[in-house]
Amino acid sequence: RLHPSSSGSLAGRHVLITSGPTHEPIDPVRYIANRSSGKQGHAIAAAAIAAGARVTLVSGPVALGAPAGATTVQVQTAEEMLNAVRAALPADVAIFCAAVADWRAASPADEKIKKTGDGEKPQLELVENPDILKTIAHMKTGRPNLIVGFAAETENVIAFATRKRRNKGADWTVANDVSTHTGVMGGDRNRVHLITETGVDSWPEMSKREVAETLIARISALLHDKAR
């Protein structure tokens, strides 16, 4: 049997993927996080490995096992995720699937914040986290050839995601509706729209594994077209 990296449509390519949420500490026992199971990002890592790529998966805290064959780097915060992404470069393709917390506590408490007993509420000052996708997409040298972002929206999905693709400097954006009624968050199925410079491709609802395989097939086709 051939070694996986010696065959397959992504053989010889390095694919970098972020997955899961980030956890931003408030104090030693509390954190700020987005809802994210990591299922879609981990499925993309598995599909890229199956296609013969070398895969680095930078993952926030998830309940999933690391996909076999990937180099998995586990992180907690957005800053750690950015550092791990930078350390993993260069990459041919970078896919930013993580649900990164947009804000972190300005100064996390060293000790557990206690209730005062008189109903007084703690004041939580927030600062914005670095935008990992935007940072990497705007690299002057060493930018991955293809940058894919995700856009989880609850309304105006295609319009918001189209604007996000442009504003962040991504080549492609995978947009999905994560409204609670869709069951996408935490679930096994997804319905996405692939937004590229040439337009919008709406895929039928399928499993997250099939979304991953379809995305990896599209990426392979693009890289093979470019090489021709």
Q: Specify binding-site residues for CTP.
A: 102, 112, 130-133, 150, 164, 168
Any residues with CB less than 8 A from the CB of 144 and at least 6 apart, and which? 16, 89, 90, 91, 92, 93, 94, 136
190 in catalytic set = no
Binding flags for ligand CTP, 10-39, as an x/- string (CB under 6 A)? --------x---------------------
Residue 127 tokens, joined: 């600062």
Sign, Cα dihedral of 68, 54, 131, 208: negative
CA distance 42 to 14: 16
Nearest CA to 72 out of 46, 36, 34 is that of: 46
- Determine if 80 is a binding residue for ligand CTP (CB under 6 A): no
Residue 158 tokens, joined: 């295609």
- Residue 15 Cβ vs ligand CTP, minimum distance, rounded to whole Å: 15
Question: Which entry of Ca ion, ligand CTP, none binds 38, CB below 5 to 8 A by partner kind?
Answer: none
Paired strand residues for 182: none
- Determine if 27 is a binding residue for Ca ion (CB under 5 A): no
Q: Name which of residues 98 to 127 contact ligand CTP (CB under 6 A).
A: 98, 100, 102
List, by residue number, the catalytic residues: 34
Q: Name the site residues for Ca ion (rule: CB under 5 A).
A: 102
Q: Name the site residues for ligand CTP (rule: CB under 6 A).
A: 18, 78, 96, 98, 100, 102, 129, 131-133, 149-152, 164
